[in-house]
Amino acid sequence: MTIKEKQEEVIEEFSAFDDWMDKYSLLIELGNELDSFDEAYRQEQNLIDGCQSKVWLHAELKDGKIDFQGDSDAIIVKGIVALLLRVLSGHTPDEILENDLFFIDEIGLKEHLSPTRSNGLVAMVKQMKAYALAFKAKQG
Amino acid sequence: MTIKEKQEEVIEEFSAFDDWMDKYSLLIELGNELDSFDEAYRQEQNLIDGCQSKVWLHAELKDGKIDFQGDSDAIIVKGIVALLLRVLSGHTPDEILENDLFFIDEIGLKEHLSPTRSNGLVAMVKQMKAYALAFKAKQG
Amino acid sequence: MAFDIQNIRDDFPILGQKVNGKPLVYLDNAATTQKPVSVIEAEANVYRTINSNIHRGVHHLSNVCTEVFEDVRQKVKDFINAPSSDEVIFTRGTTESVNLLAASFGETFLNPGDEIILTEMEHHSNIVPWQLLAQRKGVTIKVVPVTDGGELDMQALGEMLNEKTRLISVAHISNVMGTINPVREIVALAHAAEIPVMIDGAQAIHHVPVDVQALDCDFYVFSGHKMYAPTGVGVFYGKRKWLEQMNPYQGGGEMIDKVSFSGTTFNDLPYKFEAGTPNYAGIIGLGAAIDYLKQNHLEEIWNYEHQLFEYALDKMKSVSGIRFVGEAAQHTSVISFLLGNSHPFDVGTLLDKLGFALRTGHHCAQPLMDRFGIPGTVRASFAFYNTKEEVDHLVEALIRVGTMLG
Amino acid sequence: MAFDIQNIRDDFPILGQKVNGKPLVYLDNAATTQKPVSVIEAEANVYRTINSNIHRGVHHLSNVCTEVFEDVRQKVKDFINAPSSDEVIFTRGTTESVNLLAASFGETFLNPGDEIILTEMEHHSNIVPWQLLAQRKGVTIKVVPVTDGGELDMQALGEMLNEKTRLISVAHISNVMGTINPVREIVALAHAAEIPVMIDGAQAIHHVPVDVQALDCDFYVFSGHKMYAPTGVGVFYGKRKWLEQMNPYQGGGEMIDKVSFSGTTFNDLPYKFEAGTPNYAGIIGLGAAIDYLKQNHLEEIWNYEHQLFEYALDKMKSVSGIRFVGEAAQHTSVISFLLGNSHPFDVGTLLDKLGFALRTGHHCAQPLMDRFGIPGTVRASFAFYNTKEEVDHLVEALIRVGTMLG
Ligand SMILES: Cc1ncc(COP(=O)(O)O)c(C=O)c1O
Ligand SMILES: Cc1ncc(COP(=O)(O)O)c(C=O)c1O
């Protein structure tokens, strides 16, 4: 699936819910189900301290595709991290750089990615793009 | 004339004028006519610096009565100084301390004696009362 | 006279809002309070009718505006029972007031090796100014520990006082836990050793009676925006004997007597500490806030708040897994808690979706968080426009949120 | 698009006032400006609809309020064409901005024997902070003289620069004389010697185009209340390279990253310089003021003001006995004058009775008064809501007052 298709899939899943609390239940579920973060990567340089919550992010290039791992100490943030990983992990640097992230807006979680929110997510998305740039440069 | 009678006389004189400009013309006239201030007394300790205008005040006790002299570098202030001298000069410390100054309000010049005005007049009235207190103490 | 909560609520236009489709329940009063119409209009009316730069004007508007402005100084003086309005200095807020003291008192009286005493429950605004000063001046900061129950360890405080101590600076009420500190005792203790005391009244000024003469404190500071007044307004009260000795704070218009390049002399109190055009419209709003509080009978407001707090604490205890942070005997209407092992951010975010405005995080009191070994708390802080029904709804919401977060 | 003065005046509710039974003619704009309805309402609406303490909140109101607040930083950045909104710091006013620089730049970069350059036409707010710093730090202040015509002696300035010079701080426009100083040349001269320049833009920001990148100045400061915005708001712009090196200014909430008693780290720009709850409602009012100015087309406003100034100067020349203080070639709409030998207080008082609001006195520029050997001036300062008719009435009034004072 392309990044675009994955985003549409997420939007589809969330569209089932009218009520905020149901959406957040799903996020919590996604957060709980997220693959556990490799403790070896829980290091200072992988930490994004959003003041309200912490986010960890690790990235590796495997066969030309970026494999992201992420975590957060807040379960709702972790749920959003899970969505971001699902959409972006396993894609090439170019794909990641070319695609806009429109699903966050569409499913009504935009506020969590506002620069005035101090949950670490804005910085995380920036960091994911930065990894893509860096790996692209390395590949030449 | 008592201080009270003098005040009523001043009010009477000003009551002839409805228009502000006429009242101020009279003040300017009074300022111009004020007995010239003895230059020997134009000293730092007799100066009240009101920031917007300066006031000089000198007081002497003669036969149990206080003789005030005053001056200002602004003619309107000097006019008000002239009124204050006319009302209070030549009275005993007790008379000065016992009498309220109601004429300023009545003739509509209250604003010039507000503590937020920086023309030196509030401080001058305080100073006149302070002289009365001091002379009274001296007389025993 | 009965305290009519519906009338009160009608005075605060914002309270009628819906948030996320739910009626707003505003419980973030320790961060900032809402404003009654009379305050909003007082400030707007300055601009509509009397706006003019204050002091030294010869024209009508300037004089009227100056008088209304200076009246507020009188109102503040009365509100805190200061001996003189010359001791009431307007600032931008509590934070600026503390910085004023650190700068002026610090520059005048402190020398390398001197000590000042703070507490573990201080707001960053009563910590960092002193740390910056300590760096500049080589001063040492001592910290009074907080007990498990969220109170000051008074014995430790007593033992810290010594001949090098120059100042104690302490919160009247903790912004995290609502603990009311025994400030009168602290002042007595300090004065016995001839040490002055600053009280950070940001969380106290509108919740408990503040009488600076009864407290006998040397300095008392607070913010307007936390007492139903506009933002950008604060008060610094200081005893005349200190203010007269202290170096001026900032330079500029107003605070001078005469300026020349060969030497400048300073204005009298309070102006010596007020450089530049003050936030006079905001300050006039503060005057309206004081009037509003008095019209609604301070005693009744405080009683109502206290009842509401007791009611809330009692009800909230029933929420399964709730843990309170700070359970001091003397307490105002601020309740910090954690819900099981849930992250405060999660609790706050879900409550927001249900219409509740609560604050989460470290509340600018990281040393206190470190003391309790927690990253933050969820904080519900009540004002006299909150209701028992709101408390009931909060408790229902907490149960729901607790279940969701497992 | 025609500049419709009647529409403009209708936007400013205060202008319809009567004073002493006469229509108000407000010519004290250099002291503070009046506010359009949109500014008054923007501030009031914060309290009616979104009021909540900004930053770090998880709830709706706090987020909305933060976004609206941070939008203003963007608007200010655009208004002065700053490279980044991180370089835009909010303060209480020009005075606080200058004190911020004196404290932070001063503590970081100045040492005994260093020199800073000011001018004889500075406002006290750009003199006294430096005098206080000079005392603390053993720094010397050099003063650029003013010519008889009210301009800076640029040659003298050039000769003052030397290897000890650390900073030049100069008004963009004189608040007494309206002189527009050649700030771009000053910056070029200073930068040739690697000396940074602060520009006090209090009288310029709303009267002439200000582009901090074109000016290439290192710091630019101004007040909201002089540009149709609320009181208690100021801006401090600084180049990132300086801001990053400079020590923080005040300590408190917001400006920190992590606080502990063993060591505190500071937040990124711009927050490093913003301690405590800012005057966010006032700052949102500043945003509305910028919007208002842009909606009314800045170019047209400036043109109109310039025409009005030329008209006023020309008409006022006809008043017998009038003496102007400062007749620089480059000039904004500020006119200082004396009427024969009359005391400015008398002139101002009589004008007030005729409905005119003018400022008299030293205008917080005593060194300039000393320079001209006068106790003060009468100052008429115009804004774009003033009219030619008002000028005509002023001239009539001046003639009348001149006759009365003889
Ligand atoms: C105890 C205490 N001190 C100081 C402050 C800082 O107040 P401000 O941000 O209004 O300067 C606060 C506000 O959060 C507080 O609660
Ligand atoms: C040139 C100049 N600098 C500084 C100031 C001080 O501004 P504020 O009082 O708003 O801090 C003024 C205002 O009078 C001014 O005209």
Query: Is pLDDT above 80 for D253?
Result: yes
For residue D95 and ligand 2, the question of a CB distance below 6 A is answered with yes
For residue D200 and ligand 2, the question of a CB distance below 6 A is answered with yes
Instruction: Give the minimum alpha-carbon distance from C353 to chain A in angstroms, rounded to a whole number.
Output: 7
Residue B67, judged by CB atoms within 10 A of its CB (0-12, 13-18, 19+), counts as middle
Picking from D343, D353, D406, the nearest residue to B24 by CB comes out as D353
User: Which residue's alpha carbon is nearest to atom 7 within ligand 1?
Assistant: C94
| Confidence band of A110 (pLDDT split at 50, 70, 90) | confident
**Quick check: bond before C270 cis, omega within 30?**
yes
Q: Is there a single domain that holds both residue C188 and residue C89?
A: yes
Q: What are the residue ranges in chain B where pLDDT is below 50?
A: none
Q: What pLDDT is recorded for position D83? A: 98
Burial B6-43 (b: 16+ CB within 10 A, else e): bbeebeeebeeeeebeebbebbbebbeebeebeeebee
Residues of B carrying an active site annotation: 51
Query: Is pLDDT above 70 for C131?
Result: yes
Which CATH number covers residue C378? 3.90.1150.10
How far, in Å, from the CA of A67 to the mean position of ligand 2? 57
C227 inside domain: yes
Query: Is pLDDT above 60 for D207?
Result: yes
Residue D357's H or E segment, with its range, is strand D356-357
Q: Is there a single domain that holds both residue C284 and residue C315?
A: no
D201 vs D218: CA distance, rounded Å: 13
Q: Is there a single domain that holds both residue C273 and residue C383?
A: no
C397 inside domain: yes
| Confidence band of C2 (pLDDT split at 50, 70, 90) | low
Nearest to A46 by CA among A28, A29, A69: A69
CB atoms A74 and C345 under 8 Å: yes
Q: CB D78: neighbour CB atoms within 10 A?
A: 13
Residue B55: strand, helix, or coil? strand
User: What are D91's strand-pairing partners?
Assistant: D234
- Full 3-state SS string of C304-372: HHHHHHHHHHHHHCCCCCEEECCCCCCECCEEEEEECCCCHHHHHHHHHHCCEECEEECCCCHHHHHHH
Q: What pLDDT is recorded for position B111? A: 84
C250 vs C92: CA distance, rounded Å: 13
Among the listed residues D31, D61, D160, D364, the single catalytic one is: D364
Q: What pLDDT is recorded for position D2? A: 65
Picking from A51, A52, A116, the nearest residue to D66 by CB comes out as A116
Q: CB B53: neighbour CB atoms within 10 A?
A: 29
Q: Domain end: D240, D263, D293, which one? A: D293
CB atoms A24 and C353 under 8 Å: yes
Average predicted confidence (pLDDT) for chain C = 97
Question: Chain C within 8 Å of B115 (Cβ-Cβ)?
Answer: yes
Mean pLDDT within D253-262: 91
pLDDT in tens, C390-405: 999 999 999 999 999 9
CA angle D227/D231/D235 to nearest 5° reads 60
D231 vs D254: CA distance, rounded Å: 22
Residue C323 tokens read as 């843990």
CA angle D286/D292/D296 to nearest 5° reads 150
| Confidence band of C115 (pLDDT split at 50, 70, 90) | very high
Which CATH number covers residue D214? 3.40.640.10
pLDDT in tens, D79-136: 999 999 999 999 999 999 999 999 999 999 999 999 999 999 999 999 999 999 999 9
What is the Cα A76 distance to its own chain's centre? 12
| Complex ipTM value | 0.96
Q: Is there a single domain that holds both residue C202 and residue C281?
A: yes
CB atoms A24 and C20 under 8 Å: no
D109 inside domain: yes
Q: Is there a single domain that holds both residue D284 and residue D319?
A: no
How far, in Å, from the CA of D144 to the mean position of ligand 2? 19
Interface of chain D against chain B, CB under 8 Å?
A: 20, 342-346, 349-350, 353-354, 360-361, 375-376, 400, 404-406
Among the listed residues A16, A21, A51, A137, the single catalytic one is: A51
CB contact set of B55 (below 8 Å; sequence gap of 6+)? B47, B48, B70, B71, B72, B77, B81, B119, B120, B121, B123, B124
Q: Is there a single domain that holds both residue C320 and residue C259?
A: no
Residue C205 tokens read as 């000024």
Q: Which domains occur in chain A, in start order? A: 3-139 (3.90.1010.10)
Query: Is pLDDT above 90 for A132?
Result: yes
Mean pLDDT within D138-151: 98
**A78 → chain C, closest CA residue:** C346
Percent of chain C with pLDDT over 90: 97
Q: Domain end: C247, C271, C293, which one? A: C293
pLDDT in tens, C194-229: 999 999 999 999 999 999 999 999 999 999 999 999
Q: Is there a single domain that holds both residue C185 and residue C267?
A: yes
pLDDT in tens, C268-281: 999 999 999 999 99
Q: Is there a single domain that holds both residue C118 and residue C250?
A: yes
Which residues of chain B from 8 to 27 reach within 8 Å of chain D, CB to CB?
Answer: 20-21, 24-25
D382 inside domain: yes
Query: Is pLDDT above 70 for C331?
Result: yes
D35 inside domain: no
C7 vs C1: CA distance, rounded Å: 13
C126 vs C25: CA distance, rounded Å: 30
Q: Is there a single domain that holds both residue D72 and residue D164?
A: yes
- Pair type for strands D265-266 and D356-357: unpaired
Region of A71 (left: φ > 0; alpha: ψ -120 to 50; beta: rest) is beta
Q: Is there a single domain that holds both residue D190 and residue D99?
A: yes
When computed from its CA atoms, the radius of gyration of chain A, rounded to whole angstroms, is 14
Residues of D in contact with A116 (CB under 8 A): 54-55, 63, 66-67, 70
Picking from C99, C136, C230, the nearest residue to D275 by CB comes out as C99
C150 vs A66: CA distance, rounded Å: 48
Question: Which atom of ligand 1 has the smallest separation from the CA of C364?
Answer: 14
How far, in Å, from the CA of D223 to the mean position of ligand 2? 7
pLDDT in tens, C42-74: 999 999 999 999 998 899 999 999 999 999 999
Query: Is D touching A (3+ C-beta pairs, cut-off 8 A)?
Result: yes
Query: Is pLDDT above 70 for C288?
Result: yes
Residue A130's H or E segment, with its range, is helix A121-139
Q: What pLDDT is recorded for position B27? A: 96
pLDDT in tens, C12-29: 999 999 998 999 999 999
The whole domain housing C356 covers 5-30+297-405
Q: What pLDDT is recorded for position A52? A: 86
Q: What is the dihedral of CA A22, A24, A27, A31, to 10 degrees?
A: -120
Q: What pLDDT is recorded for position A111? A: 84
C35 inside domain: no
Tell me how many domains chain C contains.
2
Percent of chain D with pLDDT over 90: 97
Q: Is there a single domain that holds both residue C305 and residue C345?
A: yes
Q: Domain end: C268, C293, C318, which one? A: C293
| Confidence band of A49 (pLDDT split at 50, 70, 90) | confident
Picking from B24, B25, B53, the nearest residue to D343 by CB comes out as B53
Q: Is there a single domain that holds both residue D206 and residue D330?
A: no
CB atoms D405 and B20 under 8 Å: no
